[in-house]
Amino acid sequence: MQQYISDIWKLRYFWFSLVQIDLRNRYRRSVLGLGWSLLQPIAFSVVICAVFHTVFHQDIRDFGPFLICGLSCWNFIAAVTLQGSLSFFQGEHYIRQLPTPMAIYPLRTVLAAAVHFLLALGIAIVAAFLLRGLPNPWALFSLLPSVFLLLLLGWAIATLAGLMSLQFMDTQHLAEVGLQLVFYASPIIYPPDLARGRALQWVFSYNPVAIFLSLIREPIMDGTVPSMATYGSAVLIVATMTALAMAALARMEKKVVFYL
């Protein structure tokens, strides 16, 4: 285990430069560059805001930041799932040439997605500040452990999705459908008061995604540090997923090369 982590560390320049290349390539020859990854959640939020404002008379001051926070978190989870399922195929040529720790390929996926996530989170904070003022800037520090938990979760999801798609070609398509279901079963676009008292609320209370959404939203929206119960549940989920991913990786580490 220790040896494994030190092997990953030894190759840090390799996977780090792959992440850089991924980020640069995505926007090569584009005018806006990284701006596109900022524009996408903003544009989506504006559309949904306009709809909900007209149909349900939602107050944009509350709903706007609520939406951007939710989307930034969700887009990260969706990205690591979809791109994670391709992570080993993406590294195929390296895997075939040199012995490398397999964990670095999902890591590459997660770190690139994390950059977009952090940018979106920055926008969410700025939007919240502009629209309603930050009630308590100190609460923002509680985002640090939350982001760390999300990154760890992202690595676990990417690893599991990647290993699954090695054996089962349909993983990526399955993930696309699954993500769509989870998206609508999570409190991402529904205004909180709209869900209250309906069947939706019951779904939300058992939805693990909701926990991570609160971790991001509460400090930015309400200026409160999420409760210990929320953190506890998040830690439990992340620990379980990470343990699963590590166990699966330990089983498959030496076999990945034969599945490519």
Partner 1 sequence: MPRIVLDEVGITYTIRFAHRVSFKEVLVRSFKRGANPGPTRVEALKGVTLNIEKGERVGMIGRNGAGKSSLLKLMAGVYTPTTGTRTVEGSIGSLFDISLGFEPDATGRENIAYRSYLQGETPKTLKPKFNDIASFSELGEFLDVPVRNYSAGMVTRLAFAISTAIEPDVLLIDEVFSAGDAGFQRKAHQRMRDMIGQAGIVVMISHDMNTIKQFCDRVIWLSDGRVHRDGPAHEVIDEFTEYFANEPPAPAAEAA
Judged by the rule CB under 8 A, the positions of this chain that interact with partner 1 are: 10-11, 13-14, 17-18, 21, 24-25, 28, 93-100, 167-170, 254-255, 257-258
Structure tokens at 14: 């390799």
In the complex, least distance from residue 31 CB atom to partner 1, rounded to whole angstroms:
17
d(CA 173, CA 85) in angstroms, rounded, equals 10
Between 108 and 116, whose beta carbon lies closer to partner 1?
Answer: 108
DSSP string, 91-136: THHHHHHS---TTHHHHHHHHHHHHHHHHHHHHHHHHHHHHH--S-
In the complex, least distance from residue 23 CB atom to partner 1, rounded to whole angstroms:
11
Between 23 and 194, whose beta carbon lies closer to partner 1?
Answer: 23
Q: Report which of 205, 260, 208 is spatially closest to residue 234, judged by C-alpha positions.
A: 208
In the complex, least distance from residue 7 CB atom to partner 1, rounded to whole angstroms:
11
Question: Residue holding tokens 């020859």?
Answer: 29
d(CA 55, CA 115) in angstroms, rounded, equals 34
In the complex, least distance from residue 209 CB atom to partner 1, rounded to whole angstroms:
25
In the complex, least distance from residue 85 CB atom to partner 1, rounded to whole angstroms:
12
Between 99 and 135, whose beta carbon lies closer to partner 1?
Answer: 99
Between 33 and 191, whose beta carbon lies closer to partner 1?
Answer: 33
Structure tokens at 86: 């391709």
In the complex, least distance from residue 14 CB atom to partner 1, rounded to whole angstroms:
4
Between 39 and 177, whose beta carbon lies closer to partner 1?
Answer: 177
Fill in the amino acid letter for 221: M
Between 25 and 227, whose beta carbon lies closer to partner 1?
Answer: 25
d(CA 170, CA 17) in angstroms, rounded, equals 30
128 contacts 220 by C-beta, under 8 angstroms: yes
Angle at 215 between CA 115 and CA 33, to 5 degrees: 20
